[in-house]
């Protein structure tokens, strides 16, 4: 039988069901493989006892803390309004460190790390893209600009949403 004729024959219903089940299982596993596990340096103990933070990290975190309560504004980078990547860019600039403007550019342009320390960037998204970034503050918390109608605030990273949308971390500060 020619090869083309073999592909045109209808599949037996049980074989079709088995093939569909296998495809679903493979796609489910591929989706799970795409989400890295969120790891932070303070998961293993107190930050102050185990690590010294550079002055740049302290400056980044202080700027982010001072931004708490600033209203969200898409494309904003000033105290009158900020979006998530505007907050991170301004925070690092306060420490003399230039980083790209958007969360996707920051994710693509900065070297990723396995374990976030206070002062590092944490990225979130779905599929292959990143749409959100925040600054890890320690103790399973980050400061971020969450979206329209909200303001710069602290988020608990133990929340299921953050864990399931985590894409990675970067350390622009020494």
Q: Establish whether 50 is a catalytic residue.
A: no
Contact 3, 79 (CB under 8 A): no
Contact 170, 107 (CB under 8 A): yes
Catalytic option among 12, 32, 50, 144: 144
Q: Establish whether 132 is a catalytic residue.
A: yes
Q: Rounded to whole angstroms, what are the CA distances from 142 to 21, 22, 69?
A: 39, 39, 14
| Other C-beta atoms lying within 10 Å of the C-beta of residue 48 | 10
Catalytic option among 8, 50, 132, 165: 132
121 backbone dihedrals φ, ψ, rounded to 5°: -85, 145
Catalytic option among 8, 12, 32, 84: 84
Give the integer Cα–Cα distance in Å for 70 and 88: 13
Sign of the CA dihedral with 100 first, then 105, 155, and 146 last: positive
Residues designated as active site: 84, 132, 144
């Amino acid at each position: 039988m020619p090869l083309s004729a073999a592909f045109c024959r209808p599949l037996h219903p049980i074989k079709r069901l088995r093939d569909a089940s296998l495809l679903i299982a493979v796609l489910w596993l591929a989706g799970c493989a795409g989400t890295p596990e969120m790891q932070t340096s303070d998961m293993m103990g107190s930050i102050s006892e185990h690590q010294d933070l550079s002055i740049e990290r302290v400056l980044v975190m202080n700027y982010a803390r001072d931004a708490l309560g600033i209203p969200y504004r898409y494309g904003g980078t000033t105290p009158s309004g900020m979006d998530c990547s505007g907050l991170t860019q301004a925070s690092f600039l306060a420490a003399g460190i230039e980083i790209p403007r958007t969360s996707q550019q920051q994710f693509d342009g900065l070297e990723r790390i396995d374990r976030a320390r206070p002062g590092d960037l944490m990225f979130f998204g779905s599929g292959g893209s990143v749409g959100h970034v925040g600054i890890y503050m320690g103790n399973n918390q980050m400061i971020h600009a969450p979206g329209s109608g909200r303001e710069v605030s602290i988020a608990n990273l133990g929340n299921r949403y953050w864990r399931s949308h985590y894409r990675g971390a970067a350390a622009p500060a020494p």
